[in-house]
Amino acid sequence: MRKILRVLVVFFIVFGSLLAVLAYNYYGKVFSSNVEVKNGKEYLYISKDANFENVIDSLKVNGFIKNIDEFIWVAKLKNYHKKVKGGKYLLKDGMTNNSLVNMLRSGKQVPVKVTFNNIRTKEDLAKKISKQIEASYDEILGLLNNKDFITELGFKKETVLCLFLPNTYEFYWSTDAKQFILRMNDEYKKFWNETRTKKAKEVNLTPIEVSILASIVQAEQGRFNDEKPTIAGLYINRLTQGIALQSDPTLVYAAGDFSIKRVLNVHKEINSPYNTYMYAGLTPGPINLPEISSIDAVLNYEKHDYLFMCAKDDFSGYHYFAKTASQHNVYAQRYHAALNGQKIYK
């Protein structure tokens, strides 16, 4: 009987020891530190089409994991290998396999700040956005040129840039092209509230037409916001009186050469609907992506009798304004002389 008891005691001791070892190994794999990153944090990018093997490869290549086998074991234990979710994930030095897998499995990614400004074309916008979220250049540009898609939003191919308001927005990195544009459509609707819509009607312009005019105002004055309402008032005077806008930046846009520093008479001969010397009224679409300050400058334009403007000959970035052509010509001659003095001929 004693021998049996001894055997049982030995058995339970050995069995208990094995359980303790297994529990320790289990605990170690799940809860011990296994993430090693520089500067305390790094970001792991997982494509929306990625599988578990892609995640493992990324962790290996970037050297984020000390023991990849332990990570795989925990990931499969928690069934993450079947639930990979794309996104941008924040890795902190010293994270455990358990916390890492829980974060990846839940799709708890960090938001990214998406900023865009200084945009002239749809291609510019697609390029800038594709560098900040997962959506590709081709995907974004494809939707911006998709007639059916943009018509549903109330725009044309020529006017779709009016949808985008330069600012900084929060997105998830995994945002696709359609999600991005639809979010911008929501922001557009919020921006064009009852107050702004009412002001647009008072100017006898639609919100899209306001943005088009704002793009011209911005092209004329991209440095000093305080002068924008004066310029806006000048162009509204011309529109109201049926006078061609005669805006030099529209000629630059029509030429498609944004390196032009001096507009010449030859540019006025370009047969383009964006040539506001040749064609009266607004251009078919914006010549850049106008900032909010430019849009509000149009909605809150300065009331005056100016019909002409010319850059100041001191190259300060400000303009001379005139009510008559004769007065304008005096300013223009000064500016042309200043350009010649700087040897700026084209």
User: For residue range 86-135, what is the model confidence (pLDDT) as tens digits?
Assistant: 999 999 999 999 999 999 999 999 999 999 999 999 999 999 999 999 99
Q: Give the angle subtended at the CA of 155 by the CAs of 174 and 196, to the nearest 5°.
A: 95
Rounded CA gap, 322 and 329, in Å? 9
Mean pLDDT, rounded, for 10-27: 44
Rounded CA gap, 282 and 244, in Å? 9
| 161 and 67 belong to one structural domain | no
User: Nearest-CA neighbor of 258 among 116, 124, 115, 161?
Assistant: 124
Rounded CA gap, 120 and 134, in Å? 22
User: Percent of the chain beyond pLDDT 90?
Assistant: 85
Encoded tokens for 27: 């605990």
Rounded CA gap, 94 and 33, in Å? 5
8-state DSSP, 301: P
The alpha-carbon radius of gyration of the chain (Å, integer) is: 31
Establish if 1 belongs to a structural domain. no
Residue 31 has pLDDT above 90, yes or no: no
Rounded CA gap, 37 and 64, in Å? 6
Provide the CA 142 distance to its chain's centre, in angstroms.
16
Half-sphere exposure of 295 (CA within 13 A, CB side): 25
| 228 and 332 belong to one structural domain | yes
Residue 168 has pLDDT above 80, yes or no: yes
| 91 and 172 belong to one structural domain | no
Contact by Cβ (8 Å): 49, 94? no
Residue with token string 């010649």: 340
Last residue of a domain, one of 91, 106, 121: 106
Residue 16 has pLDDT above 60, yes or no: no
Establish if 4 belongs to a structural domain. no
Residue 40: pLDDT band (50, 70, 90) is confident
| 172 and 87 belong to one structural domain | no
| 255 and 282 belong to one structural domain | yes
Given this model, what pLDDT does residue 234 score? 98
Instruction: Please count the residues of the chain.
Output: 346
Residue 329 has pLDDT above 80, yes or no: yes
Mean pLDDT, rounded, for 153-158: 96
User: Percent of the chain beyond pLDDT 70?
Assistant: 91
Residue with token string 């921006």: 191
Identify the CATH number of the domain in which residue 60 sits.
3.30.1490.480
Count the domains in the chain.
Answer: 3
Query: Three-state DSSP class for 164?
Result: coil
Residue 38: pLDDT band (50, 70, 90) is confident
Residue 61 has pLDDT above 80, yes or no: yes
Given this model, what pLDDT does residue 111 score? 95
Q: What is the per-residue pLDDT across 264-303, written as a single tens digit (0 to 9) for each? A: 999 999 999 999 999 999 999 999 999 999 999 999 999 9
Q: Which domain holds residue 74?
A: 21-106
User: Nearest-CA neighbor of 40 among 89, 88, 98, 94?
Assistant: 94
Q: What is the per-residue pLDDT across 319-328, written as a single tens digit (0 to 9) for each? A: 999 999 999 9
Sign of CA dihedral 62, 63, 68, 70: negative
Contact by Cβ (8 Å): 213, 282? yes
Contact by Cβ (8 Å): 107, 85? yes
pTM score, two decimals?
Answer: 0.88
Given this model, what pLDDT does residue 300 score? 97
